[in-house]
Chain A
């Protein structure tokens, strides 16, 4: 009951998704769409559970007065405001959109833009052309970055004005992306895909059971 039923459910849903994908019959297509809608219903409950766990973690921090516990109140404030306004008025509401555009979106973009500084700092420390492979990585990264922006074009043309490769950085970038980069990516994609398929088969057949966790 505790392990056999979940294994059976996993098998049934996995096999159903494989067979309905290959069968154009109307019943098969109805099952396919129904199962997708079931997953779209079940999924949000996992998010709600994750939120409950987040609330438990921050409540514990506040109760125990751990270091910086005051910021947990900020988490609750942000969460409560978005959920109350969003659920009460819907995501198309002007107040919800105002919060999204002026609070979440700027912070989202700023958080991701921070990575530019961290990457630059990490690259400065890590990018040493010590070996042939490291030099290749460095050279490719430089060409791709320069080919992406007008300033890069300008720098490249100034430095390489004496060579036949002047005015060619954008073309070089595109050639790298379309040929050696694409072949490496295809190799990785093919390898990863074979891994995904074999792992999926193992899960459906019940050979891989780690998702059930420990215990009975």
Chain B
């Protein structure tokens, strides 16, 4: 049995089933949609077990049980904390779910502060003002100087638009209006890139249907 061929036919059937919703909602689309939910959740569970639980919990714990490294017993703590998620299923003990959630939230908040500071604030600010060092050194052309000034103007005006601590009147109003123009350009670029990304996926699916499945194009 040629499993590759069967796979191509199944993939083609599911692709056409999903595209059939463009006409109207129908049983084929609903079948594919529900299958997609089930398969995706199943895939996520398998990956999280094999990339999270087994290497970080099971293997160290197994090593501790066999006497290789007793430090693996410490993994019992996060396992027990993780099991507290299931307290959600018992109305009397629902409050216990706060423990693992608090740990995950605390971890996320703690790790966000230094990372966001470094990557999003220091680096972005550096990237914005760095060309001025080149202007000072005299290595930037007239167009480069214009681009450097445009960058600073864009960043300042965009931030002004989001600055609600002062009323947007007078110069602040005009700065925020320029900020809106920059934002529109940003949203237009994001929209254009998103459309082209989706169209690329569409082309890839059509290429699959016409090439791999029907063999109309090579």
Contact = CB atoms under 8 A, between A and B. Distances in A.
Genuine A/B complex:
yes
A82 B43 contact: yes
B166 interface: no
Contact of B99 (A6, A78, A83, A104): A6
Contact of B101 (A108, A144, A211, A215): A211
A166 interface: no
Contact of A184 (B105, B106, B182, B195): B182
A160 interface: no
Interface string B7-32: 11011001100110110000000111
Nearest to B182: A184
Contacts of B185: 136-137, 140, 176, 180-181, 184
B51 to A, nearest CB: 8
B192 A148 contact: yes
Nearest to B46: A86
Q: Is the interface of A mostly helix, strand, loop or mixed?
A: helix
B64 interface: no
Contacts of B32: 107
A103 B192 contact: no
B30 to A, nearest CB: 5
Q: Is the interface of B mostly helix, strand, loop or mixed?
A: helix
A34 to B, nearest CB: 8
* Residue of B94, B98, B187 most packed against chain A (CB within 10 A): B98
Contacts of B18: 107, 110-111, 114
Contacts of B14: 103, 106-107, 110
B7 A107 contact: no
A38 B78 contact: yes
Nearest to A10: B106
A116 B38 contact: no
Interface string A7-28: 1011111111110011000000
Interface residues of B, number: 116
Given A106-B208, A180-B186, A183-B150, A86 B106 contact: no
Interface of A: 2-3, 5-7, 9-18, 21-22, 34-35, 37-52, 54, 68, 71-72, 74-83, 86-87, 90-91, 96, 98-117, 119-120, 123, 132-134, 136-145, 148-149, 176-177, 179-194, 196-197, 199-201, 203-204, 211-213, 215-216
- The 3 nearest A-B residue pairs measured at CB: A187-B158, A183-B154, A78-B38
Given A104-B36, A110-B19, A181-B189, 17 more contacts: A7-B102, A9-B106, A10-B102, A14-B106, A17-B110, A35-B107, A40-B51, A79-B38, A81-B39, A113-B204, A117-B22, A137-B185, A140-B185, A143-B192, A148-B193, A176-B185, A196-B120
30 contacts: A13-B110, A14-B107, A14-B109, A22-B114, A37-B78, A39-B107, A45-B82, A47-B44, A51-B45, A54-B41, A71-B33, A75-B35, A78-B38, A83-B45, A83-B46, A87-B49, A91-B47, A96-B46, A99-B39, A136-B181, A137-B185, A141-B191, A143-B192, A176-B189, A183-B154, A184-B185, A187-B161, A189-B120, A196-B120, A200-B109
